[in-house]
Amino acid sequence: DTLWDLAIAEVEKRENPDDDGKRVEVWEKSVLFMGNKNGGKTTIILRCLEREEIPKPTLALEYTFGRRARRHNTPKDIAHFWELGGGTSLLELIRIPITSNNIRSFAVVLVLDLSKPNELWTTMEKLLQVTRNHVNKILTKLEKTNPEVATEIKQRMRNNLQRDHPDYELVDPFPIPLVIIGSKYDIFHEFDSEMRKIISKTLRFVSHYYGASLVFTSKSEALLLKARGLINHLAFGYDKSKSVSVDHSKPLFIPAGLDSLSQIGPPPASDSDIGKMRANTPLELWKKVFEKTFPPKSFCDLQDTKDPAQDLQYAEYEVDVMRAQKNQELEHYKRNASKSWKEMDFDSD
């Protein structure tokens, strides 16, 4: 059979009723992974797809996919996995995978490196801010062209909390499903207990405030399975775990909607310190408390300065030889241009 024959057969298989006389609906979702550079995003994706591959550094924006069948002899559901590389240096690429066509079935996984607390808030804030702004622009357009879809998306995120939840009016849900993963728990576990408590409480607040799920993970198989369960819920519609772990001395695992501000408690600072901090929102107050303990790196420090053209995994002999030649020609031109400029006489008048 040719490729077109296979494609036609697949479409007919999906459109024809199954043995029960019911039409089979194929589940198709998209998930964007983003977060700290070298934070473990690729490893988590490979584990979710059960691929035994050695993770490679992600360049810019990469794509892969996974397929799962809900039961025997049924079409496989599809999950599109996007991964944003470079930490916060390639924010403009976020708009590529998230479009008005797939916004109803899109979700975000934010991977934060627990071993780098001084980068944590800046990375989280920049990535979520840019993503939220882009999604809101799409929703604004949908409100004019397809208001029912826009309303459905907004209401779905509000439904993460029951209307009788005491925090229902106090949170600000992210516009699309969000999972926050704290990676490298094995390193984080060696931190001072007070430092772990501040980081854990802060991430609990942020996750609850945004209506997100939170899970800490590492290379441990047991922890990876928990993270995989949350991601499979987003990607393939698997049942979401109802178990909860909020003990700061252990890896956190809190599905969306199962935490509360009363359980999290106030920001970890003295009343006098909190009184001196000027903040317009609860999120801003938590940020100030967190950054007092973990002063943030500047945004420039988090930029990816490595030249992707020098990455050995993308080496191509002919291209690299031509590039080297052109670089030499450029340097020669610059030297001649500089020499010519210095020799020029200027009229003093």
pTM attached to this predicted model: 0.77
Return the CATH number at 114. Answer: 3.40.50.300
- Residue 207 located in a structural domain: yes
- Residue 239 located in a structural domain: yes
- Encode pLDDT of 14-46 as tens digits: 656 554 545 455 678 999 999 998 888 988 888
Domain interval for residue 109: 26-293
Quick one: pLDDT at residue 15?
Answer: 57
- Residue 7 located in a structural domain: no
pLDDT < 50 positions in the chain: 19, 21, 23, 301-302, 305, 348-349
- Residue 13 located in a structural domain: no
Quick one: pLDDT at residue 124?
Answer: 95
Quick one: pLDDT at residue 305?
Answer: 47
- Residue 205 located in a structural domain: yes
- Residue 42 located in a structural domain: yes
CA 90 to chain centre: 13
Number of domains in the chain: 1
- Residue 51 located in a structural domain: yes
Quick one: pLDDT at residue 314?
Answer: 67
Q: Write a three-state SS string for the chain.
A: CCHHHHHHHHHHHHHCCCCCCCCCCCCEEEEEEEECCCCCHHHHHHHHCCCCCCCCCCCCEEEEEEEECCCCCCCCEEEEEEEECCCCCCHHHHHCCCCCCCHHHEEEEEEEECCCHHHHHHHHHHHHHHHHHHHHHHHHHHHHHCHHHHHHHHHHHHCCCCCCCCCCCCCCCCCCCEEEEEECHHHHCCCCHHHHHHHHHHHHHHHHHCCCEEEECCCCHHHHHHHHHHHHHHHHCCCCCCCCECCCCCCCEECCCCCCHHHHCCCCCCHHHHHHCCCCCHHHHHHHHHHHHCCCCCHHHHCCCCCHHHCHHHCCHHHHHHHHHHHHHHHHHHHHHHHHHHHCCCCCC
- Residue 243 located in a structural domain: yes
Dist CA 267 CA 326 (whole Å): 56
